[in-house]
Every structure is written in C-alpha cells, then in structure tokens.
Amino acid sequence: MRIDKCWFCSSAIYPGHGITFVRNDATAFKFCRSKCHKNFKMKRNPRKVRWTKAYRKLAGKELAEDATFEMERRRNRPEKYDRELVKKTVQAVEKISGIRKKRQDRHHERRMARAKAGQVAQDKAALEQQIHLIRAPASLRAKAKDAPAKEKVKVAAEQRAGDAMQE
C-alpha cells in the first residue's frame, strides 16, 4: 500500500482512488481522477498544461530541484527492516517536510518580490511613454517652461567645428 503520484498532474493518489492504465509494454500510468485520465487520452503533454505540477515546475513557478526531493524518492532496492531505522525515519519525515514547506514558501516569496519589481518598472515605463494619452505634449512643455529644471548651455556649431580643425 502506498501513495502514488498521478502521471498527469503529480498529485497524490491515496489507496482506493484513481485509475490505472497499463500499456501493452507493461508501463503503468496512474491517474488521480477522470480529468487527468481524459487529458492523457487526449494525448496532452502535462508539461504544456498549465494546471499540472509538471508545468509549474518547468516554468519556475514552483520549487523544482531541492535536496528534500532527493531524500524522498522511490527505492528500487528495499532496505532490510530495522526498527531503529524506521523510528528515525518517521521522525525525519516530519522534519524534511517542514523544511520543504519553508523552502517552497521562500521560493514563492522571492518570486513575488521579483514580480513586484518588474511591475513597478513596467508602470514607470508606461507613465513615461504613454502620458500623451492624457496630457498633450504642448501642455507638458508649457508646464516645463513654468518650472525650468536645468539650464542648457548652447554651444555654437562654428565654434565646435573650429575646435575640430585645430586638432
């Protein structure tokens, strides 16, 4: 008895749930619900379907590579039973999942912060470039004339050309 992962959306399949499809090359595909099964039958690629875990990890929306994932993985060679080891393992499960939770939260936080920064930059660009939609350039110029920010020093073109000749 074990909790399997859905082939399509990677969610947990508890015993007694979902459906299994076994292809004629003996590959077993497990699906958590009919939605995933149907999507599979439509030959959709879970990496391209936005609501799946595979997509989210691929697109960087969720934590994809981490040591905590390495610690929880299917073993092909079973360990011999050891009471002490199992005791330790059960304790470790809690710790590992706690750490994973924290890391996922941090990943989300970082992602949000970056998105915020990007959004602000975009807004500023929009304000800069599209202000003409609400305020005519002429009026802006008029405003600028009222409150001159900097003095511009004009240099005569002939003078500059003379400098170039001397060189």
Partner 1 sequence: MPTYNFKSIQVVPPAKDFIDIVLSKTQRQTPTVVHNGWQITRIRSFYMRKVKHTQTTWHDKLTQILDDFPKVEDIHPFYGDLLNVLYDRDHYKLALGQLNTARNLIDKLAQDYIRLVKYGDSLYRCKELKRAALGRMCTLMKKQDASLKYLEQVRQHMSRLPSIDPAGRSLLLCGYPNVGKSSLMNRLTRADVEVQPYAFTTKALYVGHLDYKYLRWQVLDTPGILDRPLEERNTIEMQSVTALAHLRASVLYLVDVSEQCGYTLAQQAALFHSIKPLFTGKPVIVVANKVDARPLDNLGPEEQALMQGMASEAARASGADPADCLMSMSALSETGIAEVKTAACERLLAHRVEAKVAGKRITDVLNRMHVALPKPRAGAAKPRPPVIPPGVAEARARRDAGEKRRTERDAQEEAGGAGVYSADMRKQYDLKDPAWRYDIMPEIFEGHNIADFVDPDIDAKLAELEREEEELAAAHDAEMAALAEGVEELGSDEEADLAAIRKKKKELVTAHRIRKAAAGNRPVMPAKHGSRGDKTVGRMRESLGALGIDTSAAEARLRSESRGRKRARSAARGGEGGDSEMADADGGAAGGAPAKKRVHSSKSRSMSRGRALSTAPPTPSSGLKDAAQRNKAVKMADRGQRLRNKAARAGEGDRVIQTKMPKHLFSGKRGMGKTDRR
- Summarize as ranges the residues that interact with partner 1 (CB under 8 A): 1-3, 12, 67-68, 71-75, 78-83, 85-86, 88-90, 92-97, 99, 102-103, 106, 109-110, 113-114, 116-117, 120, 123-124, 126-127, 130-131, 133-136, 138-140, 142-143
Return the ∠ at Cα 40 (arms to 100 and 75), rounded to 5°: 40
28 beta partners: 22
Q: What does DSSP say about strands 4-5 and 12-13: parallel, antiparallel, or unpaired?
A: antiparallel
List beta partners, residue 82.
none
Q: What is the closest distance, in whole angstroms, from the C-beta atom of residue 143 to partner 1 in the complex? A: 8
Please state the closest distance from residue 155 (CB atom) to partner 1, in A: 33
Nearer Cβ to partner 1 (34/89): 89
Find out whether 21 and 28 touch, Cβ atoms under 8 Å: yes
CB atoms within 10 A of CB 102: 11
Q: Which is nearer to partner 1, 19 or 131 (CB)?
A: 131
Q: Which is nearer to partner 1, 11 or 56 (CB)?
A: 11
